[in-house]
Amino acid sequence: MHHTFKYGDVLNAENLDKLTENYGALETKIQELEDKLAVYENAKKQTNKTYFTKKSLFINQAPNWNFELDADQILDKALESGFVIKVAEDKYLMNDNY
């Protein structure tokens, strides 16, 4: 609950309790906002990452190999070189530092 105080209000036990209550509510709200910010920043990091399936990796990289390699060969080369890292079944994270 939010209580409003004015200049000249008497600081007594009741008002001190109200101030303490306000402070606690603000601390809770700040923690909620920090938690939301952390979730947002994590989501933002995730959206900047590039993921491939074997098929999308092939479509993306086949021209670089003059279409001489099939999807399995391109995936093998991408994994061996560190261009992608397997993160799930048929889900590969592109190495941004490659």
> What is the arithmetic mean of pLDDT over 7-20?
77
Average pLDDT over residues 70-96: 95
Residue 44 has pLDDT above 90, yes or no: no
- C-alpha angle with apex 61: 57 to 67, nearest 5 degrees? 120
pTM above 0.95, yes or no: no
**Rounded distance, CA 86 to CA 93, Å?**
6
Residues comprising the chain, all counted? 98
Domain ranges of the chain: 1-48, 51-94
Which comes out higher in pLDDT, residue 98 or 21? 21
